[in-house]
């Protein structure tokens, strides 16, 4: 048994034994948790990943005449300023107000530029009052010019994160990166055995051994503090998060980096390192966690719902090897087949190591001592939003108006005009979808003197199912530039159709 005070004494004298979490694994294997707890004083951890829930509180000081800033832009990126006159919060994931720049230069990029010492354009507007007569301000500032730049991140340092793959026939762009069609890659994130919360997690009690409110940490190359559990903190499911703060003025672009996840958004990569005081055997045991001990579910991001199906379960050791073999259902073969899929990390293990090494160096040099937490982390909560989803079954046009392939162009035209519709799904003898004909196709057939439905119908039909949310159907329509989506059941039979008109009626827009 040791105390943080005793460990700090040793750090100051230069006698402390400090290991990174990777090095600690071997020591615990050799000496056992009891021996390791006697031998080792501090274990340093590190993670370096995309942390969207990050941002910075800025205080710009008062202009003369003074202004109450209500709309505030830094290099074109809006910062929330519904606070006191010259306070603002700039979120990392905020896109640029210029649509042409959009996510290519957002909040995270402004934060990185500030840290790099670059000049940033500040433009703000407000309403005027007797005490704040100024309407507008436009100036150039650097990090040195602001009074405070305090990084306050509501959710950082995830204990773990599920990996992502894609069952769809098309490439998709997600916050887990670009996912190739038909399970062609698996993207994962997380430092695994180096992650701060993994190394502090008490698997029996489902709590954290040493990290609490007030724990002093390495944050973006500077010194920061844990100010509580992060949002969506869920220790019962080994899914802890942290809320952290630190002075942006002490940070470095080496450990704080802006990024753009293609066709998704901008985000901030931050290095976070937490020292774990090895107070006893229990703490030492937790620090011996290895990549292979941490289970990682692989989720199908091809399903755009909150609860994505688990395709397989693996661990960080397997993921870091570069490929994982999973079992998937092949609909052409009608059976389950094995597929070896390449894996790619979207966080940096190399940088995570650098964070843990840097923190170790600070402690060995005696520049960084440990703090005593003032309270443990809260229990947190990670439950779904209370929001109803409207599903396709709620707005479906029924019964479906369909036709067989052998009808003539004239008959198809008659059905469309009589029923006042624009889309005619074409079905086989069993009523299964095989194509679709639109009024535009009919017009084309007439213009080009085409006589058969099979020549004009679209065969690769974008379809929907009854339990698909209408938001997903709307995205399909805009992505493929179509205005009608047939709805099919499990056997491929057409049960109805959703059109752009149905969706616009729902939104209360005027029918065209």
Partner 1 sequence: MKKRIYYWVYEKYIDKPVISKVILETKVMINILMAKMRPQESFLILELSGSEKQIEEALDLLEKYGEYEDIPKIIEKNRERCIDCGACVVHCPVKAIYQDEDYSIVFKEEECIGCKNCAKICPLKAIKVFDI
Q: Which residues are catalytic?
A: 131
Q: What's the DSSP call for residue 53?
A: S
Q: Where are the beta strands (DSSP E) in 119-264?
A: 120-125, 136-141, 148-156, 163-165, 172-174, 177-179, 185-188, 201-202, 207-208, 212-213, 216-219, 222-229, 242-247, 256-261
Among 97, 148, 260, 371, binds partner 1 (CB under 8 A): 260
314-333 positions binding partner 1, by CB under 8 A? 322
Closest CA to 274 of 233, 321, 225: 225
Paired strand residues for 485: 498
Six token digits for residue 443 = 């017009």
CB 294 within 8 A of CB 192: yes
CB of 353 or CB of 393, closer to partner 1: 353
Among 267, 314, 438, 499, binds partner 1 (CB under 8 A): 267
Selected range binding partner 1 among 81-89, 117-125, 172-180, 275-283, rule: CB under 8 A: 172-180
Pick between residue 57 and residue 349 the one whose CB is nearest to partner 1. 349
Least separation, in Å, of the C-beta of 347 and partner 1? Answer: 6
The residue (of 57 and 269) whose beta carbon lies closer to partner 1 is: 269
- Is 111 a binding residue for partner 1 by CB under 8 A? The answer is no
Here's the x/- map for partner 1, 29-68, by CB under 8 A: it reads as -------------------x-x------------------
- Closer to partner 1 at the Cβ: 185 or 195? 185
Place of tokens 């943080």: 4
Task: Please select the residue that binds partner 1; options are 70, 344, 421, 466, rule is CB under 8 A.
Answer: 344
Of the listed pieces 13-21, 151-159, 261-269, 328-336, which binds partner 1 according to CB under 8 A?
261-269
Element (H, E) at 78: strand 77-80
Nearest to 104, CA basis, from 259, 214, 244: 259
Q: Which of 148, 178, 439, 504: binder of partner 1 (CB under 8 A)?
A: 178
* CB of 466 vs partner 1, minimal distance in Å: 35
Considering the complex, what minimum distance in angstroms separates the CB of residue 177 from partner 1? 5
Report the alpha-carbon distance of residue 431 to residue 403 in Å, rounded: 9
Give yes or no for a contact between 504 and 474, defined as CB atoms under 8 angstroms apart: no
| Nearest-angstrom CA–CA distance, 312 and 299 | 7
Choose, by CB under 8 A, the member of 155, 351, 360, 423 that binds partner 1.
351
The least CB distance from residue 218 to partner 1, in Å, is: 16
Q: Report the distance separating Cα 247 and Cα 142, nearest Å.
A: 15
Interface with partner 1 (CB under 8 A), residue from 62, 121, 305, 342: 342
CA–CA dist 33, 17 (Å, integer):
15
Question: CB of 105: closest distance to partner 1 in angstroms?
Answer: 10
Q: Strand, helix or coil at 320?
A: helix
Residues that bind partner 1 (CB under 8 A): 48, 50, 177-178, 180, 184-185, 187, 257, 259-262, 267, 269, 322, 342-351, 353
């Amino acid at each position: 048994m040791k105390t943080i005070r005793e460990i700090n004494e040793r750090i100051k004298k230069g006698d402390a034994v400090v290991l990174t979490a990777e090095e600690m694994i071997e020591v615990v294997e050799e000496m056992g948790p009891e021996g390791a707890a006697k031998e080792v004083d501090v274990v340093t951890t590190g993670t370096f990943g995309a942390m969207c829930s990050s941002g910075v509180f800025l205080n710009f000081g008062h202009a003369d005449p003074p202004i109450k800033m209500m709309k505030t832009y830094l290099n074109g990126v809006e910062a929330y300023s519904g606070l006191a006159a010259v306070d603002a919060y700039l979120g990392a994931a905020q896109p640029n107000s210029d649509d042409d720049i959009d996510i290519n230069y957002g909040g995270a990029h402004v934060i990185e530029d500030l840290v790099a010492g670059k000049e940033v354009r500040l433009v703000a507007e407000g309403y005027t009052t007797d005490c704040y007569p100024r309407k507008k301000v436009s100036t150039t500032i650097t990090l040195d010019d602001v009074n405070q730049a305090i990084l306050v991140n509501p959710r950082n340092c995830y204990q773990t994160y599920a990996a992502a793959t894609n069952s769809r026939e098309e490439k998709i762009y997600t916050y887990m990166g670009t996912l190739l069609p038909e399970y062609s890659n698996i993207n994962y994130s997380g430092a695994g055995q180096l992650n701060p919360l993994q190394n502090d997690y008490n698997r029996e009690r489902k709590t954290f051994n040493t990290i609490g409110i007030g724990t002093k940490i390495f944050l973006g190359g500077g010194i920061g503090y844990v100010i509580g559990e992060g949002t969506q903190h869920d220790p019962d499911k080994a899914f802890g998060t942290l809320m952290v703060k630190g002075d942006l003025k002490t940070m470095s672009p080496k450990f704080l980096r802006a990024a753009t996840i293609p066709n998704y958004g901008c985000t901030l990569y931050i290095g976070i390192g937490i020292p774990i005081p090895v107070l006893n055997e229990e703490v030492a045991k937790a620090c011996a966690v290895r990549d292979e001990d941490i289970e990682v579910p692989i989720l199908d991001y091809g399903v755009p719902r909150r609860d994505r199906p688990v395709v397989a379960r693996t661990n960080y050791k397997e993921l870091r090897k570069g490929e994982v073999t999973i079992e998937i259902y092949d609909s052409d073969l009608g059976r389950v087949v094995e597929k070896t899929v390449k894996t790619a990390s979207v966080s940096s293990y190399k940088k995570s190591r650098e964070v843990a090494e840097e923190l170790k160096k600070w402690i060995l040099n005696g520049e960084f001592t440990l703090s005593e937490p003032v309270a443990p982390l809260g229990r947190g909560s990670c439950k779904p939003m209370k929001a109803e989803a409207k599903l396709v079954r709620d707005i479906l046009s029924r019964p479906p108006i369909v036709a067989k392939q052998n009808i003539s162009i004239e008959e198809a035209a008659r059905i469309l005009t009589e029923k006042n519709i624009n889309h005619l799904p074409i079905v086989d003898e069993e009523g299964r979808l095989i194509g679709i004909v639109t009024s535009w196709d009919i017009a084309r057939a007439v213009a080009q003197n085409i006589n058969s439905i099979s020549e004009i119908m679209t065969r690769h039909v974008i379809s929907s199912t009854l339990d698909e949310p209408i938001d997903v159907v709307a995205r399909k329509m805009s992505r493929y530039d179509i205005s009608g989506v047939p709805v099919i059941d499990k056997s491929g039979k057409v049960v109805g159709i959703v059109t752009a008109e149905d969706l616009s009626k729902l939104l209360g827009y005027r029918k065209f």
